[in-house]
Structure 1
Amino acid sequence: MSLIRNNPVAMYLQIADRLRREIVEGTYEPSGRLPSESQIMGRFDVSRVTVRLALEQLDKDGLIERRKGKGTFVAGKQVRHQIDTLRSFHESLKVQGFDATMRIVELTAIETPSALVSLFGAKCALLERLHMVDDEPIALGRSLLPAVMSELDLETAEQRPTYALLKDKAGADIASAEIAIGARAVPPRISSLIGATANTVLLVLERTSYFDHGACAEWSEFFIRPERYKFVLGNRMSI
């Protein structure tokens, strides 16, 4: 629909009202990202100044968040993680339509912590990856994996979800996972990596996953920025 250009209501308010209704109707789900300023200009055939006034109005109303260099998003839009679905952390971001990427922090062979020797033996692989949404850190994943996983090349480990990596290397499917969720203060190294302030309390998801033949596939901790993440529980289990 075009704007009414002789309407006494300023055009930027008409645009703000149009976008407001679309936000309420869920037009910009699942990622919450609104069109760019240029796209809104083209849609309504107005100047950039008019578009910016409309977005400023929505910002004042608390409906949007404007992130420098990243775009405009529905305010309070959170990533959702379906905890009763057997899906890797990265996959849960991708299926919601987010621009999700990973960055390797560390991939190496280590001595297995004593509490986990029964799961992995004397040696295991440590894989740390920073999970990003729209190039913004949202979580740090720290996974202990079978020792053979330390042989992964970095490019592959940065692009593929954990469960896919495990299936490729071990030749077995992930059949089950135990998950615990809590909150705690974390060391400065972790808060710095995900862009949180010192002494911030983060959500922590602990996950132990098992292959279909019963052996342990991974033990992971995910340190998550709570303002951007929500855990949900459905009534169906899917793999």
Structure 2
Amino acid sequence: MTSGLGARAPKYQRIADELRREISERVYAPGSRMPAETDLTARFHVSLPTIRQALGVLRAEGLIESRHGIGTFVRENRKLQRRSRHRYGRARSDKQLLTSHLAHEILSAGPEETPQHIADVVADAPAFVVRRRLLRDKDTGRPEEIGASYVPAEFAAGTYLEEATVVPKALFLCVEELSGKTYAFARDRWDVRMPNHHEADLLDLAPGAAVVHLIHTALAEDSTLLEVSESIWPADRIQILDEYEITPDSDTGPRASEV
């Protein structure tokens, strides 16, 4: 076995490194079946628990998946891409949902107490109408995203946004109609963390798999809060792409970048 971690790394980690390399070099192509656990124990001269630990690492990274009663397979490397700066313009043009390529399910809709992690990013948070969602791949049914939109009750209370049904167009267009204001400024906060039990269950995550958590705050030109939206994706299934001009001017923002 070869490993960038060297001989001091645990056996299961070195085996995971070797299998990861073979997957990247397409010794095991996307969609193909991995060798049986007993074959891997013979190949690497280790015990079955060690092989299962190694496969657990690859499973948590999203490289392989187990199909009950069939075996372990290399997953298709198909990641969702988020281009934050272009989402609103596209939705204004085609009048579709921001994530129209996924199947939407509204899990609940109505007034809720503001959770602490939302209150932490919104000063003097108002009462909200909260719409919780689950998004799935239209072809496979696999859960791809969970999230929630927090719309100030002054705009959403007593409206169709309290109904647990999918709206016919992007939610921000609905909020603009109800509020009479236009989305003008957005702030995104990204975190990579371990999921809680509820998130892992909804996203059908393997043990040890991380998630990417976005909290998106949208304001009107007069700084009125229009929406707080949060999205949670399996970390191995999301790519964050950003395109922007680089100006020669000094950074005069309120906080300098730390990375």
Normalised by the size of structure 1, how large is the TM-score?
A: 0.58
Counterpart position of 2:216: 207
Letter in 2 for 1:62: A
Equivalent residue for 2:137?
133
TM-aligned CA deviation for residue 156 of structure 1: 4.0
1:105-156 deviation per Cα after TM superposition (whole angstroms, max 9, x unaligned):
12111234573674542x2111110122223211111222111425323224
> Is 1:124–2:128 an aligned residue pair?
yes
Aligned to 1:77: 78
Matches within 5 A, 1:108-119: 108-113=110-115, 115=119, 118-119=123-124
What residue identity is the alignment partner of 1:102?
Answer: H
Q: Secondary structure at the match of 1:80?
A: strand
Q: Which residue of 1 aligns with 2:257?
A: none
Aligned to 1:191: 200
CA deviations over 1:4-44 (Å, ceiling 9, x no partner): xxxxxxxxxxxxxxxxxxxxxxxxxxxxxxxxxxxxxxxxx
Q: Which has the higher strand share?
A: 1
SS in 1 for 2:85: coil
**Structure 1 contact 120–216 (Cα < 8 Å) conserved:** no
218-227 or 83-92: which moved more? 83-92
What is the percent sequence identity of the aligned residues? Answer: 16
Q: Is the 8 A contact 1:65 1:75 kept in 2?
A: no
Once the two structures are TM-superposed, the CA of residue 65 in structure 1 deviates from its matched residue by 7.6
Distance in 1 separating the partners of 2:185 and 2:31: 38
What letter corresponds to residue 132 of structure 1 in structure 2?
A: R
CA 1:171–1:198: 2 relative to 1, 3 Å: farther
What's the counterpart of residue 37 of structure 2? none
Contact 1:202–1:226 under 8 Å retained in 2: yes
What do residues 61-105 of structure 1 show as CA deviations (whole Å, max 9, x unaligned)? 61558999xxxxx931211101333539985543xxx3x121111
Among 142, 149, 161, which residue is 2:156 paired with? 149
Corresponding residue SS for 1:160: coil
Q: TM-score, normalised by structure 2?
A: 0.54
Aligned to 1:221, which of 214, 220, 230? 230
**Unaligned ranges ≥5, structure 2:** 1-25, 34-64, 68-74, 246-259
Cα separation, partners in 2 of 1:62 and 1:230, compared to 1, 3 Å:
same
**In the TM superposition, what is the alpha-carbon distance from 1:211 to its structure 2 partner?**
2.0
Counterparts of 1:1-239 in structure 2 under 5 Å?
62-63=29-30, 75-87=76-88, 91-94=97-100, 98=101, 100-113=102-115, 115=119, 118-121=123-126, 123-134=127-138, 135-147=141-153, 148-150=155-157, 151=159, 152=161, 153-157=163-167, 159-198=168-207, 200-235=209-244
Measured in 1, the distance between the counterparts of 2:230 and 2:98 equals 16
Q: What stretches of structure 1 of length at least 5 have no aligned partner?
A: 1-58, 69-73
Aligned residues: 167
Return closer, same or farther for 1:204/1:165 CA change in 2, 3 Å cut-off.
Answer: same
Tell me the residue number matched to 2:9: none
- Structure 1 distance, partners of 2:218, 2:29, is 40
